[in-house]
């Protein structure tokens, strides 16, 4: 049972992130939801790289078993790319706020309809 | 002992995520994402992903919080209106995804299983762990995979980061000067 | 920008160590956790801390906006250029074995160059992102 607990956490985090993204009209909140989903995916990858009795993947004569380095590499770059794309999203939100005076989704849709 | 720490950390992660969904103050939510990242970094250290933990602590808890606060200081709206649209639809969509994934979990390898498919000798990771000492001669396997075995991948990621920098600059500095929107 | 004396003194004390740590992470990344991505972010964080405490104008004097743009481009070019060098030496793109007489030395050299490119690129881009947001704020506040 405990072997699958990590997956359940990932699922719960992902579902919460998805809920934030769909339910909240505020664009900043949507970006936060997106970050939560991203973190859930990273958690998923990193947790299946773990090997029982293994250690961090840095070669040393005293150790035989290492955790799987491949998910670490993929997620390491994903985190840095994630912050860069978050910055793009925030810049878009700033421009939207300057054009519409609001970052609530329904206000923006209404302003578009009036025009 | 680590199992308990593990359990507590994962539960704390879900609780913080729930709190993020509830918070209306955007500044508080931005700060809480920093804490969320820090918890993740501790978890990554426990599952032996030290490089990922390092990155998450530096990026998630440090830089992305700063960027988010910087963007929020450009907006006048600090508190969300709390108009939640279509709560039932959102909840059912999230629950449907969760249910589908829950249905799939029993087929997944258990946590830390050394015989799981990713750890088999015919997978690339096997070569990284057992051959990189001879082929690359760098103790940190993550560095040798990142820079050498998967060099194309990292080249792409570096380009993505550069492009993101260009995009933000174009959005915030370039457009405004040309169109002269100050007249509005 | 006026900030607290304690904050100013403490950050003046801390910033050199943060920058030094960034270089340690960059060049010791082969042997311990770390590498170009982490080092770049830490370097950028150190300068952002300076900007937050002493004002953006002060940090523009040390690292101008232009420098971050050029640095971001140079980082990507160092990375891509390493691949071109291995092409010119008759190997495949980003194949470091050809960079030196002995494959392992070639790998060391290649990884060093690539990590350097990533470090410069990430540090400059992160700082550039921060500068884009803050200078936008400065420009907008100046107009109103």
CA distance B118 to B103: 21
- Residues with Cβ within 8 Å of B163's Cβ and at least 6 positions away in sequence, in order, are none
Cα Rg of chain C (Å, integer): 18
Quick check: B5 and B45 in contact, CB under 8 A? no
A83 contact B CB<8A: yes
What is the domain-level CATH number for residue A87? 1.10.287.3510
Judged against a pLDDT cut of 90, whether residue B138 lies above it is answered with no
CA distance B71 to B68: 5
Average pLDDT over residues B75-81: 75
- Residue C42's H or E segment, with its range, is helix C36-54
- Tens of pLDDT, residue by residue over C114-130, are 999 999 999 999 999 99
Nearest CA in chain B to A4: B110
CB-CB neighbours of B131 under 10 Å:
12
- Residue B106 to residue A4, Cβ atoms within 8 A: yes
Q: Of the given ranges (A52-66, B39-53, C73-87), which has the lowest mean pLDDT?
A: A52-66
Query: What pLDDT does C2 receive?
Result: 59
- Residue B63 to residue C111, Cβ atoms within 8 A: no
What is the residue extent of each domain of chain C? 5-143
Q: What is the domain range of residue A69?
A: 2-114
Q: Closest approach of chain B CAs to the CA of C46, in angstroms?
A: 10
Average pLDDT over residues B58-69: 89
Quick check: C26 and C34 in contact, CB under 8 A? yes
CA distance C42 to C48: 10
- Tens of pLDDT, residue by residue over C7-22, are 999 999 999 999 999 9
Chains that touch B (3 or more CB pairs under 8 A): A, C
DSSP structural state of residue C100: S
Domains in chain A, number = 1
- Residue C33 to residue A91, Cβ atoms within 8 A: no
Mean pLDDT of chain A: 89
Per-position DSSP letters for A7-74, written without gaps between them: HHHHHHHHHHHHHHHHHB-BHHHHHHHHHHHHHHHHHHHHHTT--TT-B-SB--TT---B--HHHHHH
Nearest Cα neighbor of C111 from B2, B137, A41 is: B137
CA distances to A11, A51, A53, B43 from B119, rounded to whole Å, are 23, 9, 14, 21
Query: What pLDDT does A25 receive?
Result: 86
What is the residue extent of each domain of chain B? 1-78, 116-178
Cα Rg of chain A (Å, integer): 20
Quick check: B140 and B129 in contact, CB under 8 A? no
Judged against a pLDDT cut of 70, whether residue C67 lies above it is answered with yes
How far does CA C30 lie from the centroid of its chain? 17
Q: Closest approach of chain A CAs to the CA of C6, in angstroms?
A: 30
Query: What pLDDT does C120 receive?
Result: 96
Quick check: C46 and C92 in contact, CB under 8 A? no
CA distance C121 to B156: 13
CA distances to B119, C52, C64 from C59, rounded to whole Å, are 48, 9, 7
Average pLDDT over residues B126-133: 87
Confidence of residue B180 (pLDDT cuts 50, 70, 90): very low
Query: What pLDDT does B179 receive?
Result: 45
């Amino acid at each position: 049972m405990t072997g699958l607990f990590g997956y359940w956490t990932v699922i719960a985090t992902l579902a919460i992130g998805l809920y934030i993204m769909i339910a909240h009209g505020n664009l900043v909140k949507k970006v936060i939801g997106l970050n939560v989903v991203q973190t859930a995916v990273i958690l998923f990858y990193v947790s299946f790289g773990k090997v029982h009795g293994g250690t961090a993947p840095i070669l040393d004569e005293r150790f035989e078993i290492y955790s799987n380095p491949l998910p670490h590499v993929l997620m390491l770059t994903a985190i840095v790319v994630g912050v860069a794309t978050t910055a793009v999203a925030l810049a878009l939100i700033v421009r939207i706020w300057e054009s519409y005076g609001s970052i609530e989704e329904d206000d923006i849709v209404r302003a578009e309809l009036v025009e | 002992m680590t199992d308990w720490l593990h359990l507590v950390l994962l539960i704390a992660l879900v609780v913080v995520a729930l709190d993020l969904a509830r918070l209306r103050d955007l500044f508080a939510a931005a700060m809480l994402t920093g804490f969320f990242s820090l918890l993740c970094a501790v978890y990554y250290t426990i599952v032996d992903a030290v490089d990922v933990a390092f990155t998450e602590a530096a990026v998630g808890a440090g830089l992305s919080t700063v960027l988010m606060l910087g963007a929020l200081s450009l907006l006048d709206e600090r508190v969300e209106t709390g108009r939640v649209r279509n709560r039932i639809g959102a909840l059912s969509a999230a629950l449907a995804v969760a249910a589908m994934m829950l249905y799939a979990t029993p087929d997944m390898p258990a946590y830390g299983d050394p015989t799981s498919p990713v750890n088999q000798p015919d997978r690339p990771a096997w070569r990284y762990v057992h051959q990189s000492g001879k082929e690359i001669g760098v103790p940190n396997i993550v560095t040798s995979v990142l820079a050498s075995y998967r060099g194309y991948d990292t080249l792409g990621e570096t380009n993505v980061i550069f492009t993101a920098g260009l995009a933000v600059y174009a959005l915030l500095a370039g457009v405004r000067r040309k169109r002269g929107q100050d007249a509005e | 920008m006026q900030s607290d004396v304690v904050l100013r003194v403490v950050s003046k004390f801390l910033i050199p160590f943060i920058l030094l740590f960034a270089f340690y992470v960059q060049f010791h990344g082969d042997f311990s956790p770390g590498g170009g991505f982490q080092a770049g972010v830490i370097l950028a964080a150190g300068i952002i801390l300076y900007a937050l405490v002493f004002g953006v104008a002060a940090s523009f004097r040390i690292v101008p906006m232009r420098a971050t743009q050029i640095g971001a481009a140079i980082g990507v070019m160092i990375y891509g250029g390493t691949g071109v060098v291995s092409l010119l030496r008759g190997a495949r793109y980003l194949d470091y074995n050809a960079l030196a007489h002995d494959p392992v030395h070639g790998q060391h050299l290649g990884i060093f160059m690539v990590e350097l490119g990533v470090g410069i690129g990430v540090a400059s881009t992160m700082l550039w992102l921060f500068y884009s947001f803050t200078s936008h704020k400065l420009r907008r506040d100046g107009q109103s």
